[in-house]
């Protein structure tokens, strides 16, 4: 599975290995680079209520969110709905760009 939930005792995180996702082609066609920073921006734009309580520690090849298990489970469900759907990612990118949101990729 591309999305992984981690439990390190007192710290919980969700990671997503990027660069080999079904949605990567759509990201590239929209002029962005599918890296951890892009996905962090997508999460912050598409699901601000989910993103708000989380901390992020993304890298070029990996998206990483840190938080409590219930928030991370919500994020996992949301991400699963788009990482395999180029159309869903295109829709989010278009809405973000229309609103003036800038991805940091």
Domains (ranges, CATH) in the chain?
Answer: 3-99 (3.30.310)
Kindly tell me if the per-residue pLDDT of 1 is higher than 70.
no
Nearest 5°: the CA angle 73, 76, 80 is 145
Q: What is the pLDDT of residue 98?
A: 95
Closest-CA residue to 24 (of 98, 89, 77, 69): 89
Mean pLDDT of 39-51: 96
Mean pLDDT of 62-72: 95
Condensed to tens digits (0 to 9), the pLDDT of residues 17-43 reads 988 888 988 999 999 999 999 999 999
Q: What is the pLDDT of residue 105?
A: 82
**CA gap 60, 51 in Å, rounded:** 19
């Amino acid at each position: 599975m591309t999305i992984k939930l981690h439990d390190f005792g007192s710290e919980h995180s969700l990671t997503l290995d990027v660069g080999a996702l079904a949605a990567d082609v759509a990201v590239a066609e929209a002029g962005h680079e599918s890296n951890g920073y892009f996905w962090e921006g997508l999460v912050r734009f598409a699901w601000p209520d989910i993103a708000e309580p989380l901390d992020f520690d993304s890298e070029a090849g990996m998206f990483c969110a840190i938080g409590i298990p219930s928030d991370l489970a919500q994020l996992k469900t949301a991400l699963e709905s788009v990482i395999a759907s180029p159309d869903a990612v295109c829709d989010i990118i278009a809405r973000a760009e229309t609103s003036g949101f800038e991805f940091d990729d």
